[in-house]
Amino acid sequence: MILSLSAQANLFFATVVAGAVIGFIYDALRIFRRIVPHKGIFVQAEDALYWICVIFFMFYVLMIKNSGEIRFFTVYGAFLGMLLYFLIASPAVHAVSDRVIAVVRYIVCLFITILLTPFRLLYLPLRGPVKKTRYFIKSRFKKMLHLCKLYVKMNKKAIARNKRILFRKK
| pTM given for the model | 0.62
Give dist(CA 115, CA 36) in Å, integer: 24
Give dist(CA 67, CA 85) in Å, integer: 26
Residue 123 pLDDT: 77
107 pLDDT more than 90: yes
- For the stretch 123-148, pLDDT in tens is 788 777 877 787 777 777 767 766 67
Residue 71 pLDDT: 80
- For the stretch 35-58, pLDDT in tens is 888 888 999 999 999 999 998 998
Where are the chain's structural domains?
5-123
Give dist(CA 156, CA 153) in Å, integer: 5
Per-residue pLDDT band for 17 (boundaries 50, 70, 90) equals: very high
